[in-house]
Structure 1
Amino acid sequence: MKIIVPMAGRGTRLRPHTLTTPKPLIPIAGKPVVQRLMEDIVKICGQKVEEIAYVIGDFGKEVEKMLVDVAERLGAKGSIYYQDQPLGTAHAILCAAPSLSGPVVIAFADTLFRADFILDSSLDGVIWTKRVENPRQFGVVKKDENGFITEFVEKPEHFVSDEAIIGIYFFKDGEYLKQELQYLIDNDIKDKGEYQLTNAMENMKNKGSKFKTGTVIEWMDCGNKNVVLETNMKILDFVKNEEQLISRDAVIENSTVVEPCFIGAGAKIVNSKIGPYVSIGEGTTVENSELTQTIVGQNTVIKNVNLTNSMIGNKVFFNGNYREVSIGDYSTLE
């Protein structure tokens, strides 16, 4: 089995953090979103993953190496493809055309999930969905009385269904999917101005392909600051009994840590209260401060603050009098 990971989006809703760090690399409980997503899928899919193919923008060689390393640590080959223009989900997947063969999972790297992850090979595909309050923001599905999908609609202007596609898909035949994606490009078939995966799936369904939905227990978005912080909180709760969240190389002096928290290697916490639901990156120093429900990047210095519901990037110096902030990389605020 192969995993295709489209992740070239710019993440404009998460600025200023995504001005220097691609959204799928934003840390959640100490690990980049895409790494957590790959680890979760490989752990629960029940099949040997031979290759993880990433579709990225111009992220730089250091990021590319990190992504390949994630795949190799999971026992898979890591491949890198590029999407130079934001032309839609179908186009993004087709950028990894050489890797589209055999059974494939498509996983858009801006979401984390807990789900009933059964890859039913008697079906042509499984689409993971969850009911939402505002379906106009998502691709949605309609189903018949037997649970088979009867219609795929991309961001409906009028109510069609409240069952939203979360961005995780299984296709039994990657080669067939590739043909249908190429058909959209060759015939310039767009929806909302872009080449959409939902159009390809609708065509496949009309030709007889059988799709059902997978059950999603928890869908955690990473689209803006507030939902990233909420996702960080949930993931810390999920993994607190599975992962070593507080590094043995962290220095904690005259301080209290209210778990769950992540504290990276080389971090230094002095005269402070941290937590709950705080993630602090490697090499970061926190002095004379109190932090709750906050993410702090690597090699940052924080002094004399009382913060909640905040995100602070990498290599920041912050010595201020604010209660809630969102500070990008390489910033100074005092």
Structure 2
Amino acid sequence: MTKPLKIVIPMAGFGTRLRPLTWSKPKPLVSLAGKTVLDHLLNMFRSVPDFKSAEFVFILGPSMGDQIQDYVAKHYPDWHVDYAVQPEMKGQSDAYWQAREYLHGPMLMAFSDTLIEADFSFLDQEKSDCIAWVKPVPDPRRFGVAELDDAGAVTRLIEKPQNMDNNLALVGCYYFKESEDLISAITKQIEDEITLKAEYYLADAINILLDRGIKMRTENVETWLDAGTPDALHETNRYLLSHGRDNTNELGSLEDTQIIPPVFIHPGAKVSHSMIGPNTSIGEGALIQGSTIKDSIIASGAKVTNSRLETSLLGHDVTVTGLSGKFNLGDDSTASS
């Protein structure tokens, strides 16, 4: 690649499906397996050619974007990151349109709640104009799919097909050899007002490119994880803990506490007289006393005392005392018997 690879992540959505966790923070900063969703997403790209020279473009929403900028400045101070703002939620294509001043040369994009296991190291040798990452699924009707010709080239993208003839679901990750081509197609899409429910969908812009004759192919992924709903967040937490994020062997002695792997307990958390796990992550500064917690995500600074939690999501600095059950509590909440 003669120009730096742009890695573009739209994150302007309100994260309504993850409320109350997202009332006070953007979805990418929700806790997941000992990190944030954003950390896992950024780690996904480390196999790209010449990763240290890659330039990130984050497309933020009109509110709480400062939290993303502060987090990146603190945890990734040496990375090149540009920011654009999508002032209105007018769809995927509109998000990229708002970032057009930064989009030159090759670009790799992924939606902010899409986590995949993929090897991107081949991109500097790629011959196609565009790649869509896909995963075969039993029922494609809930997804967008890629339609292929007999030679395996993409002929069209279809949103939520009515039949099950094509099961190659689009996972929300794309590569463009020339990002200017995409911006040109989005310009045409906006001029022609090609929308669905008043939103500009990326699939329509890509179909414009296909009509113009670009060469597009698919790349299969085996692992496709989601972090956009509470159920998906739990499922992804379980997967990550059982695939490398478990730190049971590093915990040392915890006072009168039983650990059932896999778990992640931050070294700065304090846990005593409790049973933790399986599939539980506990953040920095959390305090757990006399409690049983399983299949849950406990964010930093949370305090849980004399409680039994299962399949729960606790935001930052939540306090739970003397309760039993399943809870989904946003930052700074207090719940007690």
Structure 1 length normalisation: TM-score? 0.91
How far 1:162 sits from its partner (Å)?
Answer: 2.4
Matched, 1:329 2:334: no
Matched, 1:15 2:9: no
Identify the residue that residue 33 of structure 2 maps to in structure 1: 29
- The change in CA–CA distance for 1:157 and 1:109 in structure 2 (over 3 A counts) is same
Contact 1:68/1:78 (CA < 8 Å) preserved in 2?
Answer: no
Identify the residue that residue 113 of structure 1 maps to in structure 2: 116
- In the alignment, residue 310 of structure 2 is paired with which amino acid? T
- In the alignment, residue 141 of structure 2 is paired with which amino acid? R
- In the alignment, residue 67 of structure 1 is paired with which amino acid? V
SS in 2 for 1:115: coil
Match of 1:320 among 309, 319, 322: 322
Contact 2:54/2:80 (CA < 8 Å) preserved in 1?
Answer: yes
Matched, 1:239 2:244: yes
- The change in CA–CA distance for 1:53 and 1:247 in structure 2 (over 3 A counts) is farther
* Inter-partner Cα distance in structure 1 for 2:245 and 2:28: 22
* Inter-partner Cα distance in structure 2 for 1:208 and 1:13: 38
- In the alignment, residue 65 of structure 1 is paired with which amino acid? D
Query: Please, which runs of 5 or more residues in structure 1 have no aligned partner?
Result: none
* Inter-partner Cα distance in structure 1 for 2:177 and 2:262: 39
* Inter-partner Cα distance in structure 1 for 2:323 and 2:71: 36
- In the alignment, residue 236 of structure 1 is paired with which amino acid? L
- In the alignment, residue 169 of structure 1 is paired with which amino acid? Y
Match of 1:193 among 182, 185, 198: 198
How far 1:72 sits from its partner (Å)?
Answer: 4.2
- In the alignment, residue 173 of structure 2 is paired with which amino acid? I
* Inter-partner Cα distance in structure 2 for 1:245 and 1:79: 37
* Inter-partner Cα distance in structure 2 for 1:251 and 1:7: 40
How far 1:85 sits from its partner (Å)?
Answer: 0.8
Map 1:1-334 → 2, pairs under 5 A: 1-41=5-45, 43-48=46-51, 49-57=53-61, 58-73=63-78, 76-117=79-120, 118-119=122-123, 121-159=126-164, 161-240=166-245, 252-334=254-336
| Identity %, equivalent residues | 33
* Inter-partner Cα distance in structure 2 for 1:191 and 1:62: 31
The worse-fitting range, judged by mean Cα deviation, of 153-162 and 18-27 is 153-162
- The change in CA–CA distance for 1:97 and 1:160 in structure 2 (over 3 A counts) is farther
The worse-fitting range, judged by mean Cα deviation, of 183-192 and 229-238 is 183-192
Contact 1:71/1:78 (CA < 8 Å) preserved in 2?
Answer: no
Structure 2 length normalisation: TM-score? 0.90
How far 1:90 sits from its partner (Å)?
Answer: 0.6
SS in 1 for 2:232: helix
- In the alignment, residue 258 of structure 1 is paired with which amino acid? I
Deviations 1:228-252 (A, max 9, x none): 01101111122247xx67887x983
Deviations 1:153-203 (A, max 9, x none): 123355563221111111000111111112212332213421111111111
Contact 2:157/2:207 (CA < 8 Å) preserved in 1?
Answer: yes
Contact 2:20/2:329 (CA < 8 Å) preserved in 1?
Answer: yes
Contact 1:246/1:264 (CA < 8 Å) preserved in 2?
Answer: no
Deviations 1:300-320 (A, max 9, x none): 110112222111111111013
Contact 1:113/1:218 (CA < 8 Å) preserved in 2?
Answer: yes
SS in 2 for 1:205: helix
The worse-fitting range, judged by mean Cα deviation, of 64-73 and 127-136 is 64-73
* Inter-partner Cα distance in structure 2 for 1:63 and 1:265: 24
Query: Please, which runs of 5 or more residues in structure 2 have no aligned partner?
Result: none
Contact 2:139/2:164 (CA < 8 Å) preserved in 1?
Answer: no
- The change in CA–CA distance for 1:62 and 1:222 in structure 2 (over 3 A counts) is closer
SS in 2 for 1:44: coil
